[in-house]
Amino acid sequence: MTKPPKMPNPQASIDYLTDACAKLSGAMQHFLQNPPSLSMATSYDTSAVMAAMTDVMTGVMTQPQRLIETQMKAFDEWSRMWQDMWTPGLAAKPAVAPERGDRRFSDGDWESSPFFRSLKDSHLLAARHLREFVQSSTEEDKSKRAMAELIVEQYLNAVSPTNFILTNPQVMRRTIDTCGANLIAGFANMLEDLATGRGIVQRRTDNGAFRLGENLACTPGGVVFQNHLMQINQYTATTASVRARPLLYVPPLVNKYYMIDLQPASSLVKWLVDQGHTVFVVSWVDPDESHRDCGVEDYVGTGVIEAIEQVRKVTGSDAVDLFGFCMGGTLLSMATAVLAARGELDKVGSATLIGALVDFTDMMEWSAFVNDAHVDALDVHIGDKGYIAKDELQRLFSMMRANDLIWSSYISHYLLDKEAPPSDLLFWFEDGSHIPEAFLRTYNRKLLLEDKLREPGAVTLLGEHLDLTQITVPVTIIGLKDDHVSSWKSVFRGRQYFGGEPVYILGGSGHNAGVINHPSRKKHGFWTNADKTTDADAWFAGAQKHEGSWWPHWSDWLYANDPGEEVPARKLGGGKLKVLEKAPGSYVLGA
């Protein structure tokens, strides 16, 4: 006998409704006392956006034959979809299905209910055809095409049936069960977020679950050096002896270093220390107006090169192994090229670039903002403050993964009124940093827009002409297969610009999660291939897949390229340097 459906508790619904109304009253008072600013300034050129859309659409309309073929294909697929709708279970393969990783339609009603299934399939099929429509354009400007595709993608994400009360089965059930209290409380959540001045959807994780230095960024260590741009953390050894050559991490500027030192169970820093490495990390300051004139030269010279010198001073080692993530990998490449030009390459033992670009030919969705008009608009936008704010950068990164980082939170917090579960990675993501005006001006033009770093001698820095081919120390380049920021194929292309024979490793998962892949989790896997081909697809076709994390493979490579014998475990600080404070340091804590 089928059990009757579980009925909601009437008293619980009344209590929830009462609490929701009280919460809304308080949120409205807070909102009225702290109205959000209505700044009209933008960090991009709106006229360039419209021009891009116009040119791409014109490129579609100039091909009537192709347009007709696209329409005929759409007619056939719509016919098949509706046929499948009336004969569920008979189709060998559905006409349309969510892409891998699309978690929006995981609720069972999206398949079991004809109404919700028709909404889902109609949206997915219309989305496919609109994307194909834009992609069929003859427009050759990559930045314009990327902008048009980005606008279309944002539109499709926004109009998904999952984002509306009456077309989301989970929201409808919740609304009925709570007599609408979830919507009242959700509206209060939105008002509270707006009153913070940081915009909506700021509830991705339970921030109260994490405390820096206690259960996050808590690998034991100390700050052994600082200047106006950075602190250097050294971590306490956990082995009796350590590898002779120390290891220095260079993070990107946009987020703080501790993505590689989250909770102990997932910390790359702790794992490296436990493998016998002496680990140092650069911890960038969160810049303010006083840093507006700090450019790429400052971050390379006063930052990376200075850090190399200080690590050598602490350890007494002649050379330092470098590794950097994303923009940090690009900066360490430039620093190493400067040292090579000065005849000081022997200060670098090896270099590892993780999800880092030196070839900016294909920046995927980010190409939308890489053109003169948008770079000029950004220059004007940041001129008053002297930096681009961390909240703006976070919104931009969120937009690139809108379903995961915007709309899922919108549904959870504003429609369902659910508390965000704790996530150390999302906590780190929201703990961003500003970027100074001078740095952005140089980086955006010389590297992103002009794409000169890969050309020998085309970029001058600290009085030296940079030539990556002069970097002949061992180099490992690590791409991430599902990376949405630095395409693994673009990262792969970087190895052809270095001297010597760089090693390439392809890790599984995405830009951030693919880095934080502790071996104990036995997830994602990685690929290796000794072939020297410059064709990424050919490399992957011949690559061997390994289970688990790439960390042990990389650590073995570091040991194999260290000519020195192990030395007794090093104490924090050394020589003339003293421990200034406990890790993670005041630059991370904002003190």
Location of structure tokens 């399939």: 121
- Rounded CA-CA distance 442/295 in Å is 7
Q: How many other CB atoms are found less than 10 A from the CB of residue 372?
A: 12
Residue 326 annotated in active site: yes
The encoded tokens of residue 25 equal 């009253």
Relative orientation angle of helices 372-382 and 46-61, to the nearest 10 degrees: 160
Spell out the SS3 assignment of 84-142.
Answer: HHHCCCCCCCCCCCCCCCCCCCCCCHHHHCHHHHHHHHHHHHHHHHHHHHHHCCCCCCH
Q: From 410, 312, 523, 378, select the one nearest 104 (Cα to Cα).
A: 410
Q: How many other CB atoms are found less than 10 A from the CB of residue 511?
A: 21
How many Cα neighbours within 13 Å face the side chain of 186? 21
- Rounded CA-CA distance 159/164 in Å is 8
- Rounded CA-CA distance 11/480 in Å is 51
Location of structure tokens 């590892």: 352
CB 137 within 8 A of CB 56: yes
Strand partners, 320: 348
The encoded tokens of residue 407 equal 């709309």
- Residue 404 CB partners (closer than 8 Å, separation 6+): 103
- Rounded CA-CA distance 550/525 in Å is 7
Residue 304 vs residues 251, 293, 296, 329, 339: alpha-carbon distances, Å: 10, 17, 11, 11, 11
CB 454 within 8 A of CB 308: no
Strand partners, 352: 323, 476
CB 352 within 8 A of CB 379: no
Using CA atoms in the order 54, 60, 61, 66, what is the torsion angle rounded to 10 degrees? 180
- Residue 204 CB partners (closer than 8 Å, separation 6+): 405, 409, 420, 423, 426, 429, 430
Q: Are strands 241-242 and 221-226 parallel, antiparallel or unpaired?
A: unpaired
- Rounded CA-CA distance 274/242 in Å is 9
Residue 437, SS3?
A: helix
* Residues annotated as part of the active site: 326
